[in-house]
Amino acid sequence: MNRRKLGLAAVAFVLVIGVMEVLALRLGSLEFSLPSKSDHPAVADQQGGK
């Protein structure tokens, strides 16, 4: 591979990573309200696990 193709591949890789980072930040800033209809909540109401 010559230097020009290698340079273009490196720039394309950096741009793809940058776009993925921006999308991850935007997706991470969203808040999803998921319904919680489980019989066993993730946080215990009482000490002892019962």
pLDDT in tens, 1-49: 799 999 999 999 999 999 999 999 988 887 777 666 666 666 766 776 5
What is the model's pLDDT at position 21? Answer: 94
Cα angle 19, 25, 26 (rounded to 5 degrees) comes to: 90
Count of H-run helices and E-run strands, the chain: 1, 0
User: Rounded to whole angstroms, how far apart are CA atoms 50 and 36?
Assistant: 19
What is the model's pLDDT at position 41? Answer: 61
What is the model's pLDDT at position 39? Answer: 66
User: Rounded to whole angstroms, how far apart are CA atoms 23 and 15?
Assistant: 12
